[in-house]
């Protein structure tokens, strides 16, 4: 299949991405209808978006709470070093911990911000003791717990303009 990797993205592509972001398992024909395209044209656009890296894949939205995970923790971790090897060791260790679903090195002091899922406070305490506490090079750990999640724009809406 001959296929370029264009940066060009018109509003139809944006609409397709929005639609897929809202319901990735919707039939292509339904998406095509929404965006005013034929099925085949829509399929080809989706393929192009996948090939060009605008569309990375598809995932399921899981009901954390329903699955027994009631704790979301946002954890700030400060390291005592800025040496790249130490950062790499820390990052490798973090990547092994079950429950850590996000981790980012952020500006403003040499620290990391994690998002952690846990069943309950006991579960989180165990995680903290067995894993977070043993991470290499850590100076401070600061845990906050999500009390309430505020509904916001979806990712797609943020990227392509509000609803």
Note the residues at the interface with DNA (CB under 7 A): 1, 4, 6, 8, 12, 27-29, 36-41, 43-47
Q: Which residues have CB under 8 Å from 124's CB, separation 6+?
A: 71, 73, 116, 118, 143
Among all chains, which residue has been given the structure tokens 């005592």? 80
Least separation in angstroms between residue 10's CB and a second copy is 13
Question: How far is residue 30's CA from residue 1's CA, in Å, rounded to a whole number?
Answer: 25
1 scored as a contact of a second copy (CB under 8 A): no
Q: Residue 75 class from Cβ within 10 Å (0-12 exposed, 13-18 middle, 19+ buried)?
A: buried
CB 41 within 8 A of CB 32: yes
Binding site partner of 139, from DNA, a second copy, none, Cβ cut-off 5-8 A by kind: none
Which residue, 29 or 142, has its beta carbon nearer to DNA? 29
Site string for a second copy, 87-116 (x = CB under 8 A): ----x--xxxxxxxxxxxxxxx---xx---
Which residue, 29 or 140, has its beta carbon nearer to DNA? 29
Compute how many other C-beta atoms are within 10 angstroms of the C-beta atom of residue 137.
18
Applying CB under 8 A, the residues found at the interface with a second copy are 9, 17, 20-25, 52-64, 66-67, 69, 72, 74, 91, 94-108, 112-113, 117, 142, 144-159, 161-162
């Amino acid at each position: 299949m001959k296929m370029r990797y264009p940066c060009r993205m018109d509003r139809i592509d944006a609409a397709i991405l929005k639609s897929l972001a809202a319901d990735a398992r919707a039939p292509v024909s339904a998406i095509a209808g929404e965006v005013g395209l034929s099925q085949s044209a829509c399929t080809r656009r989706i393929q192009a978006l996948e090939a060009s890296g605008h569309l990375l894949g598809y995932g399921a939205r899981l009901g954390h709470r329903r699955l027994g995970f009631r704790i979301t923790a946002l954890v700030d971790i400060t390291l005592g070093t800025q040496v790249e090897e130490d950062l790499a060791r820390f990052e490798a260790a973090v990547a092994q911990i079950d429950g850590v679903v996000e981790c980012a090195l952020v500006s403003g002091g040499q620290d990391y911000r994690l998002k952690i899922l846990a069943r309950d406070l006991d579960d989180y305490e165990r995680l903290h003791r067995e894993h977070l506490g043993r991470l290499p090079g850590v100076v401070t750990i600061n845990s906050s717990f999500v009390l309430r999640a505020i509904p916001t724009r979806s990712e797609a809406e943020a990227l392509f303009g509000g609803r």
